[in-house]
Each structure stands twice: as structure tokens, then as C-alpha cells.
Structure 1
Amino acid sequence: MLDQPESLNSTAIEQASSIVIRNLSEASNTPSESLSLWRSYAQEGGEAPMEKTELDALNSAIQGFVGNWWNGSDLYPDPCGWTPIQGVSCDIFDGLWYVTALNIGPTHDNSLSCGPNAHFRQQLFELKHLKSLSFFSCFVSTKGSNSVSLPTDEWLKLAGSLESLEFRSNDGLTGKIPASMGSLSKLQSLVLLNNGFVGEIPENFGGLIKLKRLVLAGNSLTGPIARNLGRLSELLILDLSRNLLSGSLPPSLGNLTSLLKLDLSDNKLSGTLPNEIGDMGNLTLLDLSNNSFYGGLKQSFEKMSSLEEVILSNNPIGGELKSINWKSLENLVILDLSDMGLKGDIPDSLSALKRLRFLGLSRNNLTGNPSPKLAALPVISAIYLFRNNLSGDLKFSEKFYGKMGRRFGAWDNPNLCYPIGTLAANNAPYGVKPCQEEEEDEDVIKLMKTPVKKTSIDMGNSNSAVSNGCSGLGIEGFWWKFVGKTITMILLTNRLL
């Protein structure tokens, strides 16, 4: 029994409640009216009693996580009464308080924080009306010890009520994800983020047809992506990133037509991208980066006009940018296609993406000359083209270079240059050489490699050479041309001084 203040012990509370119930009964004509009046009184006065088995189950469950020192003695009259605790929410069912939400972990100053030996007790699964259950940084591993596994079969007991289940940042929570979680038929949100789970995604998760959010990121899950996940027609967010998942993308993912966010980044996935991926017409974020996909970009991407972020970097996808009409993806804000083995020119259709802020095309095999139309993108803040095979003169304006600074990255393109004399030195594109400087360097190299011969000029022979369109001065003519340019520069410098 919980300790109560001396002025109000549990007996006194029960007697007061009985008097209230009796008075309400006398004022009503039927038992149902009495119950209705009692519910109204309880909700307005906040003095509804908590069922004893519910209270005992809650206390025992909390003790398993925070330690046996906790008994709720400072809560009056119970965790659902006038002095509730952060992380415990209640609601009234048939005139009695029941726990509907339990959040364990340091999310607030006075939240329930787990002890060093936190563990699950079966009483947790006896909370009859539990809708939301979450654990944040509760099961923490210390040098590889103190690991805890999830209960296996007990989740069946919460199948009739649980709507949200979350485990976040629990590196000491290891083992496989229990298949019994697939029986939580009312579940709308399942988040198992940054824990230590291993093994495969349970096949029966495809039966959680009410799911809106499925996040299994930041674990060590292996095996393929279950094809049955394509049955989750109401799913809005699917995040399986930062695992060890392998195999190809199941075409059934194209059935997720309500999906807004798909993040499969940082796995070991491979194969070609299925054409069905374009059927996710409401998708706003697609992140497949850091995998091993190949086979080129799919034209079916053009059907996903809602896309705002596309991140496919660090995949050997290959192919050419022009295989997609980028005008169809007019809502793009972020486009990262770096390190993908892309070939060919940068298409002008990219300049039609008026909402684009970030364009990443670095570390590919792109050729040709970048179109200055990219500078006309109204909100662009970063363009990275470095480590490609781009060539020719850059034709962007000085104002563009000044605005972008190093956020315009075109270095490590050996045959790319900017016209000298058109830009101030402090506004030149970082890491790109001026074109004239490259030409002069080549002239000097040729000069250094060519031996200079001391000869006399035969004017008679020179006339014949000139008539054939050649200089009669030969290498000496080139030499005097070079010397003349140098003298001119010295004279100009002296005049300025």
C-alpha cells in the first residue's frame, strides 16, 4: 500500500468516494445515470480512484526500470491524481483511472530515468489500456555489458490497445526484434531507433496494416527488406537506414503510394532500382545513398513530381544525367548525385529546377562545359562539380562567383578554366586556373624543351619561308615574341610605380 499524507490516508479516501457515489446514486434514477454522473464528477474533480491491480502493475513495472527504491509514495493519491509524474498519462474508463501512456527516460527534468540494472517485468504487459510506450536512453551498455533483450511473447497482451511503441538510443538493448510485435494490430507508430538490434526484420511486420511510421534505423539488422512491407498501404515514413541490410529493393515497395519519406541509406543493398519505385507519387524524400545500386537512373523517377530531396550519392549507379527529364521534378530542393559513376554532359534541364538549393554532382565522370544557366537558379546556394572531366571556359559571372565562394566547387577538373581579365582575383572560382595562365605555362614548357640554336638569318631564304606562310625567324622568332611580352610587362609595371 502506498504511503499517504497523515491527514488523508487511503481509508479516508475510500470512505469519501463511497459517500460521493451514494449521493450520486440517490440523485439518479438508474445505475447508468449514476455511472455517468460519477464519470463527470471524477473528470472535473480529478479524484477518481485508480484500480488497485492497475496501480500495482504500474508500480512494479516502473521499479523494474528505475529501481526498487521507487514506490510512488510522494504521489497523491496515485500517479494519475493531483501530483502526476512526467511520462505517465492516464484516462478514465468505467469511472476508474488507467494508464494510457508510459514514457521512460530523461526527456524532462523530472522524468523517470532508468537505473543501471533496468529490466522488463511482466507487470508492464498487464496495463490494460496502454496506448503509448516509449523508452529513451534507458538501456545503456557499459563497455559491452548490461545488455538486455526484448521480451518475446508478452507483446501479444498489448495487441488490443497499443498504438505507439518507441525505443530510442538504447545501445544496451540487443538481440532480435520479437516476431510477436507483428501481432500489435492497432500499432500506428513503431520506432526502434539507434539501438543494438540484430537479425532480420520480422516477416509478419507486413501485417501491421495501420502503421503510419516504421523506423528501424541505426541498428545492426541484416538480411533483405521484407517484401510484405509493401502491404503497409497507410505508411507515411519508412526509415531503415544505417543497418546492414542486403539484397535488392523489392518491387512491392511501389505499392506504398501514401509514403512521404523513404530512407534506406547506409546499408549493403544492391541491384538495379525497380521501375515500380516511380509509383510512389507522394514521396518527398528519397535517400538511397551509401549502398551498391547499379544499372543507371530510372526514367520512372519523372513520375515522382512531389520529390523535394533526392540523395543517391555513393552508389555505382552509372548512366547519364540526360536519361531523366529533370523538368518533371520541379519541386526538388536537394539533389545529390555525387560519386555515382555518371557520364556525359550536365543537361540544361537542371536549370529548370527553380526551387533547387543544393546540387551535388562531384566525383563522377561528367564531361563537357557546365552551362551558365545554372547560375540563374533563383535560390541555389551550393553547386559541387569537383573531380569530374569537365572542360572549356567557365562562363559564369563574377557576381555569381562572389556570392557562392567555395560553395561553387569546380576544382580537380584538369581541362576547366576561367577567362583571365574578366574577374577580380578574389572572385575567381576556387581551385580553377585562369585560361591564359594555362596557355602561357604551355608556351614556357615548349620553350624549355626546345634547344635554342645560334644561327644567322638568311633574308633570301626567309622570303621563301614567308611566302609559304612560315616565319623566317624559326625558334628565334618565338623566343623574341616571348621576350617582347616580358619586356612589355616590365615597362607597364615601372610606369605604374
Structure 2
Amino acid sequence: MRNFKAFIQAIIGLFIISMSARCYGQVELDAAPMKKAERDALYSTIQGFVGDWWNGSDLYPDPCGWTPIQGVSCDMFNGFWYVTVLNIGPIHENSLSCGRILEFRPHLFELKHLKAISFFKCFESQQRHQVTIGNANWEKLAGSLESLEFRSNTGLIGKIPSSFGVLKNLQSLVLLENGLTGEIPPDIGNLNTLKRLVLAGNYFTGHIPDIFSALVELLILDLSRNSLSGTLPLTLGRLTSLLKLDVSHNNLQGNLLKEFAYLKNLTLMDLRNNRFSGGLTLSIQEMYSLEELVLSNNAIGGDIRSIKWQNLHNLVILDLSNMELAGEIPESVLELKRLRFLGLSDNNLTGKLSPKLSTLPCLSALYVSGNNLAGELKFSMEFYGKMGTRFGAWNNPSLCYPVEVMSTSHLPFGVKPCQEEIKLQESNTIFYGDVNKTFHSISIIPSSGFMSHASYGFCWTFLFIMVLLNSYVDL
């Protein structure tokens, strides 16, 4: 019995020892050390953007331990914690808030395992304490940095550093809605691992550099909302993996590229609000994967029927408004079964508006206002009810809707009823016809007029009454 108890106690002791070892090991794992140089570099970097008041005193045992900094992520290399992600700005509710006076301290470039940096709404002062991105030291992050983002920093000014071109592992470069100026540096063309290039919402000027020959892995290219000019570079056709192309809201000009035909994987192309011209290129009909095609507000011109729209069977949004297009709306549009938005306003389109458009199963917005469409609208009441204000056909002088629609609340805004047109034609005949001939015909054929019948009826009635009176007097 004593031997059995001793055995049990031994087992319990071993269990306690093993559990202690596991817990101790866990503590060691959670409290893995961070080298002092790494921690000091991180703290100084954060103080440059937050303020010297911050010293990380509430962190235990270090920034990557049990109480980490919101926006800072770490990975372990050779038994030590190293910073891999640094997000500065109010991304989360408990993120560190940026200070009023900010600076890029050189300690940032000592974080040698840094993979991603982002700054969101940090540099916001548009007059005082404006900040530029320095050109120095970026080569120190060339071996690790994969993502670099500056979003909504209106006080971030100056040019894009040409030294960004040394970040050979960079996959994402996002400079969105900042106060950056100057031209796009051609050094960006060296980033042959780049998958996302977003430079939208800044004040960039000059031509789009011809840098795309080596950027064959690019998936997203967004240069919209700047002041870029010139023509599109032909090397855009090399971006055969591209999914999104947005150069809208610039001052670009020239013809649409024949090289668009090579962009077989493109799902969105937005070229609106530029100065493109030269007609619709046939290369558009080769872009089979397109889901959104927006070319509005460009004086491109040409005949809308020149494109085989049925080839673009994946289209969800098609906006060709204000493009000086001519011709009739092609029947091939009726084969776009996924189409939700069709914008054809403010062109020179003619012919009738086919009621078959209402058979498109997904269509929820149709705008054809400001054209020369004619004839009677023959859509059903259900169609007008479904579309509501998303159906626009005003400013088509010869377009009208049938009289029976007037009894419903679903009147197409800005379109006159066809009955009104008929009455107008009749009134024009009466007032502008041969007045003498009209009245002459009435006098010659009195039986055909209402007044003639009334006069004759009155005479016969009067004679009959006189006969009755005479008979009464004789009696």
C-alpha cells in the first residue's frame, strides 16, 4: 500500500514539474526578448510621429509582448522579436494618434525586417508643419519592404522620392489623397515585383512615364484625380495581368490605344473626364473580361455601332455619356445580360428607344437624355415603376410617351405626352392653314357644320309652333 502511495505521489510530482516547465516555457515564449537596438529604433520612430511624450512605459514586457502597440506587428527571427508591420494613424479606435509636428527619423530605416509601413491621416496640416518624404535611406529597407502606403495625408507635400525605385521587393505602393506634387518618377519602373500602384488624388503633373515594360505583375493601376497630361504610353499594353486601370479626372488626350486589346484580364477601365478623341477603337471589343467601362466626358466621337458590344458579355456598368457619339443605339446592347447601368446621355444618338431594353434582367439605371431620339416610348408601367428616377430621357425633343401613361404616377420626367404633340399639330393646321378656304367650305356645305344643323332645326320648330297656334285660335 505504501509503495502504491509513493508511486502516486511520484506521478503527481512529475506532472507538477512538467506543467511548471510548460508554463515557464510559455512565459519565455510570450516574453521573448527584443534586442535593445530594435526597441530603441521603434520607440524613436514612433516618437517622431506621435511626440516625445510617448515612451512605451505601459508596454509589458516589450512592444511585441503581452501588451502590444496597436498597429505594430512583430515576427520572430533567431529567437528575437523584430518589427514587421508599422501602421501610424487612427486606423483603429485605440491606435496612436499622430502629433502636430511630425518627422521621419532615421531610426525608421534601422528596422531591418520591416515589411509594411502605412500612414493614415497623420500629416494633415495644409499650412503649418508640412512634411515631405525624404529621399535618403530607403535603400536600407530594400531587402524587406513589401508595402508602402500614405493615405489621406493632406499636409504631406513635395515630390515622390526617386529612391523608392530601389525597393526591389515592393509589391504595393499607395500614395492616395495626399498633397504630393511634381511628376511621376520613372524610377518606379524598376519595381518589377509591384502588383498595386495607386497615385490617385494628388497634384501630379506632366506625362505618364513610359515605365510599364517591366511591371508585368501589376494588377491595379490607379492614377486618377491628378493633373496629368499627354497621351497614354503604349507600354500599357504590356500589362497583361492588369485587373483595374483608372486614369480618370486628368488632362490626358490623344486616341484610345489599340494596345488595349492585350488587356484580356482587365475588369475595370475608367477613362472619364479627360480629353481623349479619335473615335472608339475596335480594341475595346477584345476586352472580354471588362465589367466596368467608363469613358464619359471625353470628346471621343464616332459611331456607337462601330463596336460589337455583344463581345463584352461581362459588362455590369457601361457609361458612354457626353462623348459626341452618333448613330442609333445598337441592338447588340440587348445581349449584355449582366448590365446594371447604361449611360448614353448627352450625345447625338438618333432613332427610337427599343422597349426590349426593359428585358435586360439586371438593368436598374438607364440614362439617354440629351440626344435626338424620336418616337413613342413603349415601356411598360412596371418598367417605369421599377426604374423611378433612374430612368432619364429628357431633352429629346421628338420623344414622347403614350397618353395612357398619364393615368399613372410613373411619368418619365421631362418627356411630353404624345397626345400633346397631336393637339399641337391640329392647332397648327387651324391657325396656319388656308383660313379663307376653310370658311368657304363651311358656307358651301352647311349640313356638315354644327351651326347649320342648329339653324335648320330652329326653323322647322318655329313653323310647327305657328301651325299649332293658328289651330288653337280657330277653335
> Would you say same fold, with TM above 0.5?
yes
Q: Does 1:123 align with 2:107?
A: yes
2:269 matched residue in structure 1: 286
Q: Does 1:148 align with 2:131?
A: yes
The answer to whether the 8 Å contact 1:405/1:430 transfers is no
Moved more, 364-373 or 392-401: 392-401
Check 1:120–1:457 CA distance in 2 against 1; reply closer, same or farther (3 A cut).
closer
One-letter code of the match for 1:370? L
Question: Could you list the per-position Cα deviations for residues 85-122 of structure 1 after superposition, in whole angstroms to 9, with x for gaps in the alignment?
Answer: 10111111111111111100001121111100011101
Aligned to 2:351, the other structure's residue is in SS state coil
Deviation at 1:445, TM superposition (A): 3.8
Alignment partner of 2:254 out of 268, 271, 275: 271
Aligned to 2:135, the other structure's residue is in SS state coil
Q: Does 1:403 align with 2:386?
A: yes
Deviation at 1:43, TM superposition (A): 9.3
2:418 matched residue in structure 1: 435
One-letter code of the match for 2:179? G
Check 1:379–1:43 CA distance in 2 against 1; reply closer, same or farther (3 A cut).
farther
Deviation at 1:178, TM superposition (A): 0.3
Question: Could you list the per-position Cα deviations for residues 56-100 of structure 1 after superposition, in whole angstroms to 9, with x for gaps in the alignment?
Answer: 111111111000000111111111111101011111111111111
2:225 matched residue in structure 1: 242
Question: Could you list the per-position Cα deviations for residues 405-454 of structure 1 after superposition, in whole angstroms to 9, with x for gaps in the alignment?
Answer: 22111111001112223663423322211112111023224434468559
1:55 matched residue in structure 2: 39
Q: Does 1:426 align with 2:413?
A: no
One-letter code of the match for 2:238? N
For 2:198 and 2:347, the matched residues in 1 are separated by 32
Q: Does 1:305 align with 2:304?
A: no
Q: Does 1:74 align with 2:55?
A: no
Question: Could you list the per-position Cα deviations for residues 431-487 of structure 1 after superposition, in whole angstroms to 9, with x for gaps in the alignment?
Answer: 21111211102322443446855997589x96xxxxxxxxx79xx98x979xxxxxx
Question: Could you list the per-position Cα deviations for residues 350-397 of structure 1 after superposition, in whole angstroms to 9, with x for gaps in the alignment?
Answer: 010000000000011111111111111011001000011111112222
Deviation at 1:207, TM superposition (A): 1.1
Structure 1 residue runs of 5 or longer lacking an equivalent are 1-39, 463-471, 482-497
Alignment partner of 1:106 out of 90, 98, 103: 90
Q: Does 1:217 align with 2:183?
A: no
One-letter code of the match for 2:142? A
1:417 matched residue in structure 2: 400
1:83 matched residue in structure 2: 67
Check 1:257–1:298 CA distance in 2 against 1; reply closer, same or farther (3 A cut).
same
Question: Could you list the per-position Cα deviations for residues 307-346 of structure 1 after superposition, in whole angstroms to 9, with x for gaps in the alignment?
Answer: 1001111000111111111110000000011011111100
Aligned to 2:366, the other structure's residue is in SS state strand
Percentage of identical aligned residues: 61
Alignment partner of 1:338 out of 308, 321, 330: 321
Q: Does 1:295 align with 2:278?
A: yes
For 1:337 and 1:389, the matched residues in 2 are separated by 16
One-letter code of the match for 1:134? S
Q: How does 1:324-403 map to 2 (within 5 A)?
A: 324-403=307-386
1:484 matched residue in structure 2: none
Check 1:340–1:329 CA distance in 2 against 1; reply closer, same or farther (3 A cut).
same
The number of residues matched between the two structures is 430
Q: Does 1:323 align with 2:306?
A: yes
Q: Does 1:190 align with 2:173?
A: yes
Moved more, 180-189 or 440-449: 440-449
Check 1:399–1:278 CA distance in 2 against 1; reply closer, same or farther (3 A cut).
same
The two structures have a TM-score, normalised by structure 2, of 0.86
One-letter code of the match for 2:120? F
Deviation at 1:401, TM superposition (A): 1.7
The answer to whether the 8 Å contact 2:405/2:411 transfers is no
The answer to whether the 8 Å contact 1:135/1:166 transfers is yes
For 1:385 and 1:454, the matched residues in 2 are separated by 44
2:48 matched residue in structure 1: 64
The answer to whether the 8 Å contact 1:330/1:352 transfers is yes
Alignment partner of 1:227 out of 178, 203, 210: 210
One-letter code of the match for 2:291? E
The answer to whether the 8 Å contact 2:257/2:283 transfers is no
The answer to whether the 8 Å contact 1:150/1:177 transfers is yes
For 1:455 and 1:46, the matched residues in 2 are separated by 105
Check 1:294–1:88 CA distance in 2 against 1; reply closer, same or farther (3 A cut).
same
Aligned to 2:152, the other structure's residue is in SS state strand
Aligned to 1:231, the other structure's residue is in SS state coil
The two structures have a TM-score, normalised by structure 1, of 0.82
One-letter code of the match for 2:231? S
2:188 matched residue in structure 1: 205
Check 1:89–1:42 CA distance in 2 against 1; reply closer, same or farther (3 A cut).
farther
The answer to whether the 8 Å contact 2:91/2:120 transfers is yes
Alignment partner of 1:139 out of 112, 123, 141: 123
Aligned to 2:139, the other structure's residue is in SS state helix
Aligned to 2:403, the other structure's residue is in SS state coil
Aligned to 2:334, the other structure's residue is in SS state helix
For 1:242 and 1:44, the matched residues in 2 are separated by 51
Deviation at 1:398, TM superposition (A): 2.3
The answer to whether the 8 Å contact 2:194/2:218 transfers is yes
The answer to whether the 8 Å contact 1:362/1:384 transfers is yes
One-letter code of the match for 1:99? V
Return the index of the structure with the highest Cα Rg: 2
Check 1:435–1:82 CA distance in 2 against 1; reply closer, same or farther (3 A cut).
same
The answer to whether the 8 Å contact 2:212/2:238 transfers is no
